[in-house]
Each structure stands twice: as C-alpha cells, then as structure tokens.
Amino acid sequence: MFRRVLIANRGEIALRVARACRELGVEVVAVHSTEDRDSAVVRAADQAVQIGPAPARRSYLNIPAVVEAALRTGAEAIHPGYGFLSEDPDFAEVCHDNGLVLVGPPADVMARLGDKNVARRLMAGAGLPMLPGSLEPLRSVDEAHRIADEVGYPVIVKAAGGGGGRGMRVVHDEASLLDAMALTREEARRAFGNPEVYIEKFLLHPRHVEIQVLADSHGHALWLGSRDCSLQRRHQKVIEEAPAPGIDEALIAEVGERCAAACRQIGYCGVGTFEFLYERGAFYFIEMNTRLQVEHPVTEMTTGIDIVQQQLRMARGERLALAQADVRCQGHAIECRINAENPDTFAPSPGRITGWQVPGGFGVRVDSHANAGYRVPPYYDSMIAKLIVQGSTRADALDRMRLALAEMHVEGISTNVPLHREILCDEGFAAGGVDIHHLERWLQQRGTA
C-alpha cells in the first residue's frame, strides 16, 4: 500500500478519503485554499499545504500547485475525489510525468471516455445498448437533419465534451434544430473547449440508472449493483438510492456483466460508473464517469464494500480480492444531498452554522465536513452533508430517512432539509420508479420550480 497520499479536494469527500487512508495505515496530506485553512480534513491530516487563495481556479484547480505540494511532502499518490481535477486527463498526464500515481484510470483512457462521442463508439463496440443517434460528431446541418428524421423527434443535441447538465438542448421539431445546434456548439466551445456535438433520441420519461464497477490492472472487473439517480433538478441529482427499484434483477445483472466486460475490453482500471437512461424495460448507455461518484455511499451500504479503499488498492496495482460471486447486495439504501441553499428559491446560503444536530442510530450514516461554528464559503459547491440510510427493504429505508430528516437541524444558514422532508412524503417518489422529470414537475406544482 502507499505510504503517503495527497488528497486534491476539499469538503466531505476529502474527509471521506482521509478516513479510508487512515484505515489502511496510509499517511494523509491535505491541500487547502486560504478559505479552508481550518477545515476538518486539514485538522485530520498528517500534513497540510496551502496551495492558493479561495477561488478554486487559483487553488484546487491549480495543477502546478497541487503537484508541487505532492512532490514537496513526499506523497506517492494523489486522490482527486470528485469534481475539480478528478476527470482531467491533463492532470493525470502531469502526475504520471512527475512519478505520481493518480488514483484513477490512465490519462489516455480518461481522455477517451471524457469525449462522449468516443465513449459511445467504444461502448457500442463493447455491446452496450445505445440510444438511436449519431456515433460520430455532426459534420453538417444536412447530416443532423437526416439523423433527426431517422430517429424521430424529439431529439437532444449534446456537447461531446459536456457534463453536469451543461451543453445539451432538446429539439422538438425540424424548425428548431439549426438554432439548437449553433447554441450548443457555442456553449460547448466556451465551457469545454470542444465545439463538437452529436444527436440522440430524446426519451420522454426515462429514469437515470447507474452501474458501479471496479476494475484492476490485471484484467479483472466486476459490478456492484445498480443505483437510481432519477430525482434531479436541472440535471443535478438530489436523492439517490440503491438498488434501482422495480427493475428486473436479471436484466440488471445482464447489463452489469456487459459493463464489467467493457472495462476489460478497453483496459479500464479503477472505480467507474456507467450511466444509463432506462425506459420501458430497456437500458441505453449515455456516459461513463471515470471517478468516484457523490452517491457511492448507497452502494457501499448495500454491498458492504469500501469503494474508496478499493480505489486505493487498485491504484497501487493490487489485484481485486473479490470475485463477482462475492458481491451480495442486501437491503436498500437512500442518500439525500444536504445543501446550503434556500429550499424554496434554491439560492446559495453561505454563512456560519450556529447549530448542528445530525441524526444517528442503526442504519444511519452522515458524511460531512461541517459542524457548529463552521462557515460555509461562497466559493464552492453548496453541499455540506450527505445523509444516508439503509433498511431491510425500500419501505424500511424510506421510514428511516423520514425519521433521520426529522432529527436533522441546521441553524444559522438555510438548507434544503425541509425540501427533502417534503419529497419523502411525495406519493410518487414513495412508490418508486419516478422518471428524471418527476421532481421538476413536483416543484412546479409546489410553485418553486
């Protein structure tokens, strides 16, 4: 195992990785901005290095500063967490060139899977089910019209290098296609430095279902069950659960085996997540995330596998100690993302937390870097905690989450805890299997979309 690992992140995920390192006997180096000098992960680390001022572009996204901190402290590896530099192939290349192990796939694999067109071609070749559309970047308006006519409207125009809900537009008729392509290309050029776009069939009522995979550098790969992340607002996940409710287990197993086989075929190494749209009994691949997901705890709770520790072991070159037959998913887990934001307007709510009461008890987990006295900064993502529960059944997990949310109280700032309490009482969500548009429809009825 590594002797020392630098964590190139902040907040709850940095603390989560630090704990996994400590359990493996690995020393922790924390990097931090001036804003985070007194953070929980800095206090928990063996060493801490300030790498820049508060804005992320001058600290957590500052590749030379991160790499220099790793070299100066004698770190052997860098764990990027999620967000920030976690899917940046240039960062992976710089780490490699400096003799540092990045906890993630190789730079070339990361780059190929980060380009949605390339990823879709790779996964189609590996036998994963695809949405009808273009597997190559669109070369002309005529080609776009032809493909849209073939698959049928509505279609969605997507940026090849997009992500996070950006760089996509739904087109309902031929007259709107040209403007949608021009706008998406310009947005993609500005946001991702890549103006290429492609077209897919737009599903009207899909669910967002994920398959978590682990793959080592010795050709072994396995999958860890499914997750449903359909409860979203503006393409941002709000609540996640595992397993995905109401989907035939044999179908999920078939897709999971294809995902593991795809990892072996493309030489993938590390933790990864295959994202699918699911509608009317069919899966359609949309992208693969080459990093740890925010929602990984629901998979940990149902499988009993520490995904972060597995990441570290695979990055070190160890063989997977698990076989697919060893993976057993038990019960049901639900995660609520707790954000510092107004529950009605969704405006960020930075400031000092004056009261902090989190729930506990059997089957309850809280991943957070916050506490009473912590100042939520305005510079970063607004998530301050992840509340995760597990029950023997989905109904048990829902009841446990309702109780946990009732026990959770944060004072001094606004949070979306009241919103989560309302969502857990929604009959549609309680029934299971809602589509990705359910929450926005519910919010419109509530008057807070």
Active site residues: 291
Q: Are 31 and 49 in contact (CB under 8 A)?
A: yes
Nearest to 290 by CA among 63, 160, 119, 136: 119
355 CB-near residues (< 8 Å, 6+ apart)? 372, 409, 410, 411, 412
> Helix or strand or coil: residue 83?
coil
Q: Is the omega angle on the peptide bond into residue 359 within 30 degrees of 0, that is, cis?
A: no
Calpha distance 417→408 (Å, rounded): 8
Q: Are 413 and 350 in contact (CB under 8 A)?
A: yes
Distance CA 116, CA 429 (A): 30
Helix (H) or strand (E) holding 13: helix 11-23
**Under 8 Å between Cβ of 306 and 209:** no
Beta bridge partners of 270: 215
Contact, 109 vs 270, CB < 8 A?
no
User: H or E stretch including 370?
Assistant: none
Alpha-carbon separation of residue 434 from 277, 314, 428, 439 (angstroms):
12, 35, 7, 9
Is the preceding peptide bond at 64 cis, omega within 30 degrees of 0? no
- Residue reference for tokens 């100042």: 375
And the tokens for 212?
């978590």
Q: Tell me which DSSP letter residue 348 carries.
A: B
Sorted by sequence, the CB contacts under 8 Å of residue 369 that are 6+ apart come out as 10, 11, 12, 14, 15, 39, 40, 41, 384
Question: Quick check: 74 and 47 in contact, CB under 8 A?
Answer: no
Q: Are 303 and 249 a contacting pair, CB within 8 Å?
A: no
Query: Could you give the CA distance from residue 47 to residue 29 in angstroms, rounded to a whole number?
Result: 5
Query: Quick one: DSSP state of residue 36?
Result: G
Helix axes 107-114, 89-97, angle to 10 degrees: 170
